[in-house]
């Protein structure tokens, strides 16, 4: 029991560290810079020391300010770190598979989660889903599913993921074409391809339902608080990713609850 808690703790810390790296990737993607070189303050450009690079803890220790120029550090940094650590931990706990294939699958899921976190933040800030992150994730996920299918020997698996990808992407493509891009961006169509390849049927349907559910709730809250109106543009990518995370972690439980609730 203690070993399980210890491993879970290290997975969470690992997620925090990956989240710190993702913050760096998001910033450099915004500024169109490569990932090489030391981390630095986005305000004064002073290189950061190792004391400044502890995920979350450095932010708290420095009270949300740069050690050198004293300007505020964005809350994005600890939020992304904590969110990544938490999602990593939940995926690890629910996966509960310590076989070689299970660990390989876990590594794959950690990669996809990292890509989705970058897309989440970037779309939330700029209303754009970056192809530089999305396309490699789609290709790697497709190849992983193909290799998985060959190893397992069940050819229905790959058809299931392709079918889910087609269902999700065509659904958003229809909305995109009907609205001429006003209701849904084409980036969401491409993101739906990744969702399908990642989740398969029926979990992709769970993710889509939750995405619209989350979007409706947040939209109503924003309108009530007068921060948005009916004509305001709201990026839908973050809701799709939130739905994807929920479906990855507990999609099967949600489906089972639904079936039991309606006694199907």
pLDDT at residue 55, as a whole number: 87
Percent over 70 (pLDDT), the chain? 96
- Ranges of the chain with pLDDT below 70: 1, 226, 228-232, 262-264
Q: Give pLDDT, residue 207.
A: 95
Q: Could you tell me if residue 64 is left (phi over 0), alpha (psi between -120 and 50 degrees) or otherwise beta?
A: left
pLDDT of residue 178: 92
Q: According to the model, what pLDDT value does residue 152 have?
A: 75
Task: Give the model's pLDDT for residue 139.
Answer: 97
pLDDT for 228 equals 66
| pLDDT given for residue 4 in this prediction | 79
Predicted TM-score of the model (pTM) = 0.90
- pLDDT for res 151: 81
Contact (Cβ atoms closer than 8 angstroms) between residue 207 and residue 232: no
């Amino acid at each position: 029991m203690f070993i399980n808690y210890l491993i879970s703790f290290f997975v969470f810390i690992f997620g925090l560290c990956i989240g710190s790296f993702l913050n760096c990737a998001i910033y450099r993607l915004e500024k169109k810079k490569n990932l090489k070189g030391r981390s630095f303050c986005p305000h004064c450009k002073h290189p950061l020391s190792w004391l400044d690079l502890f995920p979350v803890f450095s932010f708290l220790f420095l009270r949300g300010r740069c050690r050198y120029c004293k300007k505020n550090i964005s809350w994005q940094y600890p939020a992304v770190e904590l969110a990544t650590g938490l999602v990593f931990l939940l995926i690890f706990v629910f996966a509960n598979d310590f076989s070689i294939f299970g660990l390989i699958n876990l590594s794959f899921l950690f990669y996809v989660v990292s890509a989705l976190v970058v897309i989440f933040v970037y779309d939330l800030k700029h209303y754009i889903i970056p192809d530089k992150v999305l396309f490699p994730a789609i290709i790697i996920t497709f190849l992983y599913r193909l290799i998985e299918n060959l190893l397992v020997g069940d050819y229905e698996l790959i058809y299931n993921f392709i079918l889910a990808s087609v269902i999700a992407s065509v659904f958003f493509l229809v909305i995109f074409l009907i609205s001429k891009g006003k209701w849904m961006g084409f980036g969401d169509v491409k993101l739906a391809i990744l969702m399908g390849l990642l989740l398969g049927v029926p979990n992709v349907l769970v993710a889509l339902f939750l995405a619209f559910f989350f979007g409706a709730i947040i939209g109503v809250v924003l309108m009530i608080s007068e921060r948005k109106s009916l004509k305001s543009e709201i990026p839908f990518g973050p809701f799709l990713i939130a739905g994807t995370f929920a479906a990855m972690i507990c999609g099967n439980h949600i489906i089972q609850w639904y079936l039991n609730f309606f006694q199907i």
